[in-house]
Amino acid sequence: MSTGTELQETVADLVDGSRGVLAADESSGTIAKRFDSIGVESTEELRRFYRSLLLSTEGLENYVSGVILFEETLGQRDDAGVPLPQLAAVRGIVPGIKVDKGKGPLPGALGDMITYGLDGLAERLAGYKEQGARFAKWREVYPIGPCNPTRLGLTANAEMLARYAAVCQACGVVPIVEPEVLMDGDHSIERSAEVNEAVWREVFAALGRHGVVLELLLLKPSMVTPGGDSPRAPPQQVAEYTLRSLRRTVPAAVPSINFLSGGQGPEEATANLNALNSLRQAPWQLSFSYGRALQEPALKAWGGKRQHAAAAQRALLKRARLNHLAVLGEYQQTLEQA
């Protein structure tokens, strides 16, 4: 199979107008923080148990078309010995893999960051494909400050995302391109719009320079919201600002935009996605690739206890279903009580 056909098939399996992506690719440090929030120690066995619980949720495939996994999870098996990527694939959920290796300061751009992991990426992708991964994710992070992101921050991070995406496509792996503009701070929604727009403009310029095929990637951006220390904006306003900025900068050739939740609460992330789809002005599918906003209630319900696995699955399924309704623009707050 040519890589072009392979990529097209993966995009078609991920993008069907009503489902989204579950981000379950927390690095060892991040999952330890999440487990810590429920008073659970992060051991390999508990990570395996928790993630097999998520992936074996009956009916999840009705709302979720893909799942992003961490490298460790690709090699783990469920209690019956089934490899975890296969557990997803047999239910019609495409397994994907986070391939970046975390971030650090960007020298020459005080306050900005840069992500590592390009060296040896093609070889790593070949191995991940053998383990069942068909798409990948790479995250660049942009803090908002009075002087950040800097011009160098914008160009260097865009260049990394484009080089990663080009390597993925050459290897027959669909890239999810994730430029995360952080919510941290007390900035206004206008400032968030200004930064996100600058980020997306630069990212698509770089993708063009590197010959990345826009039809064969997914974009995973932040929504345009006020900073976490500022008062929340109503969903209608978030939707209008986000869509306006996306329409100015993201070509219509991109098949799907799958937002990250980035610290929005679970209900907030669903309401905002629903408002975006209710505007009905997008040339792309607008969907989700939530980590915390899908998992938080499930994680709490589980609490590290084997006997609470079914409750955790019910909590996950509820958020997945409500976000699926938000993709259709059919979510209502009253459904939270149902």
- Toward ligand 13P, which CB reaches closer, 6 or 180? 180
Dist. CA 143–CA 337, nearest whole Å: 35
End-to-end CA distance of the chain: 46
User: Per rule CB under 6 A, is residue 293 in the interface with ligand 13P?
Assistant: yes
Residue with nearest beta carbon to ligand 13P = 291
Burial 100-138 (b: 16+ CB within 10 A, else e): bbebeebeebebbbbbebeeebeebbeebbebbbbbbbb
| CB of 100 or CB of 197, closer to ligand 13P | 100
- The reply to whether 175 sits near ligand 13P by the rule CB under 6 A is no
31: contact with ligand 13P by CB under 6 A:
no
Chain centre to alpha carbon of residue 145: 23
The span of 75-83, 155-163, 208-216, 255-263 binding ligand 13P (CB under 6 A) equals 255-263
* Residue pair 316/60 in contact by the 8 Å Cβ criterion: yes
| Count of CB atoms situated within 10 Å of the CB of 331 | 24
Nearest to 116 by CA among 133, 129, 128, 99: 99
- Out of 48, 124, 134, 292, the only residue in the binding site for ligand 13P (CB under 6 A) is 292
In the complex, minimum distance from the CB of residue 19 to ligand 13P, in angstroms, rounded to a whole number: 16
Of 113-121, 193-201, 257-265, 323-331, the segment contacting ligand 13P by CB under 6 A is 257-265
Considering only residues 112 to 171 of the shown chain, the ones binding ligand 13P according to CB under 6 A are: 139
Out of 66, 85, 172, 291, the residue judged to bind ligand 13P by CB under 6 A:
291
Question: Which residues 6+ apart lie within 8 Å of 239 measured at CB?
Answer: 272, 275, 276, 278, 279
Structure tokens at 187: 């900035």
Tokens of 86: 């296969």
* Among the listed residues 23, 154, 156, 320, the single contact to ligand 13P using CB under 6 A: 23
Q: Which of the following is catalytic: 6, 26, 71, 220?
A: 220
Closer residue to ligand 13P, CB minimum distance, 6 or 256:
256
- Residue 252 CB partners (closer than 8 Å, separation 6+): 283, 284
Closer to ligand 13P by Cβ: residue 112 or 268: 268
- 260 binds ligand 13P, rule: CB under 6 A: yes
181-189, 196-204, 249-257, 286-294 -> range binding ligand 13P (CB under 6 A): 286-294
Q: What are the CA-CA distances from residue 240 to residues 58, 172, 194, 244 (Å)?
A: 35, 35, 14, 6
Closest distance between ligand 13P and the C-beta of residue 269, in Å?
A: 7
Using the minimum distance from each CB to ligand 13P, give the nearer residue, 6 or 71. Answer: 71
Residue of the chain from 65, 261, 285, 323 that contacts ligand 13P (CB under 6 A):
261
Helix ranges (DSSP H) in the chain: 3-14, 28-36, 44-55, 71-74, 84-90, 121-130, 151-170, 189-209, 235-249, 266-278, 292-302, 309-328
By CB under 6 A, the count of residues binding ligand 13P is: 11
Check if 159 is active-site.
no
Q: Is 6 a catalytic residue?
A: no
Q: Is 319 in the site for ligand 13P (CB under 6 A)?
A: no
Residue 43 CB coordination number (10 Å): 11
Q: Which stretch binds ligand 13P (CB under 6 A): 83-91, 186-194, 256-264, 299-307?
A: 256-264
Q: Which residues bind ligand 13P (CB under 6 A)?
A: 23, 25, 139, 178, 260-262, 290-293
The catalytic residue positions are: 178, 220
